[in-house]
Each structure stands twice: as C-alpha cells, then as structure tokens.
Amino acid sequence: MSDTKVLSYLGLSMRAGKLLTGDEIVHKAIRSGEAKMVIVAGDASGNTQKKFRDKCATYKVPLLIGLDRDRIGSSIGKDTRVVLAVTDLGFAKMISKQVGIMSEVEYIE
C-alpha cells in the first residue's frame, strides 16, 4: 500500500497549523494533552522510539511508528523530521484511517 495519502495529510495539517515538530515540543504537547497523535519515523533510533512509545502509552496518545525521516520532512516542507505531533483530532482520525490499510507502519493505540 502507498503512504502518499498519509504524507499529504501531514502536509495539509502543517499548513493548517495543526502539527508540531521537535523532541521537546512534542513531549510538552503529550504532557499537556494537546497532542492527538504522535508520529515517529521508522528509521529513528531505538531509544527515541522507546521514549515516545512509553510517553504515549502513559498519556494514552495514539502513536504511529513508520515512514522515514526524509519523506516526513519533505511532506511538511522541512528538513528531515523524526517526531511530529498532530494537534487536531480530525487530522489524527484521517491519518489513523489510512494507517489501517498500510502494511509498512507499526501503529500502536
């Protein structure tokens, strides 16, 4: 399956101002309840993946691990990105729906 729709939804959410990037900013969004979904690049380090897996599990935030950092970054018009937080429930649901039909990502709820 293609992940083109997920990447275009990320670009759309970035243009709408409903996407946060960066380790500390995403951590803060998770703790405050602002993050509706967290996306971690599949080629991120094991330590980074574990850190966000644990944090999202604690705060009950859906987590998507997959895609690669270069494609994530280019989809939102930035350099490589490892971690993103979607702050809009509508965008998070649209991405979740697409992830259900993708095989190359690990989706944890």
Structure tokens at 57: 């599990």
> Which structural domain, as residue segments, surrounds residue 10?
3-99
pLDDT score for 104: 45
The H or E element containing residue 72 is: helix 69-75
74: which DSSP letter? Answer: H
- State which residues of the chain have pLDDT below 70: 1-2, 101-109
pLDDT at position 1 is 35
**Does the residue 50 lie in any domain?**
yes
**What domain count does the chain have?**
1
The model's pTM is 0.88
Furthest CA-CA distance within the chain? 34
CATH number of the domain that 62 lies in? 3.30.1330.30
